[in-house]
């Protein structure tokens, strides 16, 4: 406790040491970009279908290509960091996302939208793990859940602002989708500019000129890796944890399919957008509390609680068509999203060494993204089985979630 107090004193502020200027800067960057993305996301399928005439199969193919590009880029981000500083990766990533949104707003045919969507997701894949590694640099491992939770709250607040702005702008522009897409470019560009305020040791160290050293000393320095240098081999328990979390993503299909299910159950388009907004509000409001719990309790127990929320939500969606109950399930689903994202990232961050933060985030997020892509494929193929409307894949995933919750709660990884 005395150590933490002295750290707070050195910051020259009464705020806790983990509540740093870097955290605020990264949070603002993410909030602006997510507001732009979530203005676009619920409108893009409608834009593709009603304005550009793309069939549903093309909409699915575009999302599949985008998710695949993002996941592969996340997996490669630790390798890219060998030559490119993390801050540069973040800047290029956010810049690519802004460029992708510009291309989509400009599009006159669906292939151009596909290009824009892939460029957008490539930017997300490049920046995400690098940003999360910067986020926890210099932060005590016991505080990383709070840091990631605070950031996810800010990020998801942007996801609340985005759909709300989209609804308001649609009303203002009499339903003109393209005008809303153009306005979404503005916060995306501002987000890219705000990256300038992020401070990263990796970036600063690489800018410093390296003095020439005697050959013996240089060899010794090369043998001892710095916190921003080579990342080494992950511990077996860390690899196992990453694979365990990634395997669960095979049951967690894209949120677009949840929205499709709600639409097929009788919700109007504006009601579906409203439910998506409600989901993001729940996600944002529960991200920091889940991060706080992950710091104070065993992360496996908090993550298992999130999996129980997942099973309740998926099983409930499959078994009810009541609008009020469905809205409550959307809130429960927001709890799962908060636990899955915040607790998963902070859990692997706690176990990894300081110089492995980018590597573990790229592995976790990349493999989970590929699992999500596979989940979308099998769920889509099974969508019309049984009673249809996605009932069968929802029930399968709900059952898998309960089994996963029991396994995760009993694991000793991270103890």
pLDDT tens digits, one per residue of 60-78: 677 778 878 888 888 888 8
Binning pLDDT at 50, 70 and 90, where does residue 4 land?
very low
| Closest among 250, 247, 233, 227 to 360, alpha carbons compared | 233
pLDDT tens digits, one per residue of 281-332: 898 888 888 888 888 888 889 999 999 999 999 999 999 888 899 999 999 9
For residues 330-357, b (16+ Cβ closer than 10 Å) or e, as one string?
bbbbbbbbbbbbbbbbbbbbbbbebbbb
Task: Check residue 335 and give its pLDDT.
Answer: 92
Binning pLDDT at 50, 70 and 90, where does residue 43 land?
confident
Is the pTM for the entire model greater than 0.85? no
Structure-token match 């729940």, residue found: 282
- Mark out the alpha helices in 47-196 (DSSP H runs): 56-80, 86-106, 110-135, 144-172, 177-194
Q: Mean pLDDT in the chain?
A: 82
Binning pLDDT at 50, 70 and 90, where does residue 209 land?
low
Binning pLDDT at 50, 70 and 90, where does residue 144 land?
confident
Binning pLDDT at 50, 70 and 90, where does residue 232 land?
low
Contact 139, 147 (CB under 8 A): yes
> Is the confidence at residue 396, as pLDDT, over 90?
yes
Binning pLDDT at 50, 70 and 90, where does residue 364 land?
confident
Least confident of 81-85, 239-243, 363-367, 410-414: 410-414
Architecture of the domain delimited by 19-201+229-410: Up-down Bundle (1.20)
Task: Check residue 57 and give its pLDDT.
Answer: 61
Task: Check residue 51 and give its pLDDT.
Answer: 83
Least confident of 23-32, 204-213, 277-286, 325-334: 204-213
Q: How far is CA 236 from CA 211, 355, 364, 410, 413, in A?
A: 37, 16, 14, 18, 10
Task: Check residue 330 and give its pLDDT.
Answer: 95
Q: Is 414 left (phi over 0), alpha (psi -120 to 50) or beta?
A: left
Boundaries of every domain in the chain? 19-201+229-410
Distance (Å, rounded) from C-alpha 11 to C-alpha 244? 38
């Amino acid at each position: 406790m005395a150590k933490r107090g002295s750290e707070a004193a050195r910051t020259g502020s009464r705020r806790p040491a983990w509540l740093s200027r870097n955290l605020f800067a990264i949070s603002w960057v993410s909030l602006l970009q997510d507001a732009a993305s979530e203005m676009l996301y619920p409108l893009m399928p409608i834009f593709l279908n009603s304005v550009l005439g793309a069939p549903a199969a093309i909409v699915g193919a575009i999302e599949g290509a985008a998710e695949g590009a993002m996941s592969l880029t996340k997996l490669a981000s630790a390798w890219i960091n060998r030559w490119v500083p993390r801050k540069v990766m973040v800047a290029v990533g956010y810049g690519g996302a802004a460029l992708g949104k510009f291309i989509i707003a400009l599009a006159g045919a669906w292939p151009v939208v596909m290009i824009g969507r892939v460029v957008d997701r490539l930017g997300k894949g490049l920046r995400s793990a690098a940003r999360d590694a910067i986020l926890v640099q210099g932060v005590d491992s016991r505080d990383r859940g709070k840091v990631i939770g605070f950031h996810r709250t800010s990020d998801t607040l942007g996801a609340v602002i985005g759909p709300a702005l989209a609804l308001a702008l649609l009303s203002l522009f009499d339903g003109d989708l393209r005008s809303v897409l153009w306005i979404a470019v503005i916060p995306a560009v501002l987000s890219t500019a705000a990256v300038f305020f992020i401070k990263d040791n990796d970036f600063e160290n690489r800018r410093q000129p390296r003095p020439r050293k005697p050959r013996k000393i240089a060899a010794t320095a090369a043998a001892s890796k710095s916190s921003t240098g080579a990342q080494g081999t992950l511990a077996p328990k860390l690899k196992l944890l990453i694979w365990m979390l990634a395997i669960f993503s095979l049951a967690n299909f894209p949120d677009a399919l949840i929205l499709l299910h709600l639409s097929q159950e009788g919700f109007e388009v504006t009601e579906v957008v409203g439910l998506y907004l409600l989901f993001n509000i729940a996600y944002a409001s529960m991200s920091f509390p889940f991060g706080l719990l992950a710091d104070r309790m065993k992360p496996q127990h908090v993550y298992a609680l999130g999996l129980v929320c997942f099973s309740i939500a998926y099983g409930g969606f499959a078994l009810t068509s009541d609008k009020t109950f469905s809205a409550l399930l959307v809130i429960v689903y927001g709890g799962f999203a908060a636990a899955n994202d915040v607790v998963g990232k902070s859990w692997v961050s706690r176990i990894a060494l300081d110089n492995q933060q980018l590597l573990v985030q790229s592995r976790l997020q990349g493999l989970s993204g590929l699992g999500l892509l596979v989940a979308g494929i099998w769920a889509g193929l099974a969508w019309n089985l049984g009673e249809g409307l996605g009932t069968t894949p929802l029930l399968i995933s709900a059952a898998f979630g309960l089994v996963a919750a029991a396994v995760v709660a009993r694991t000793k990884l991270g103890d």
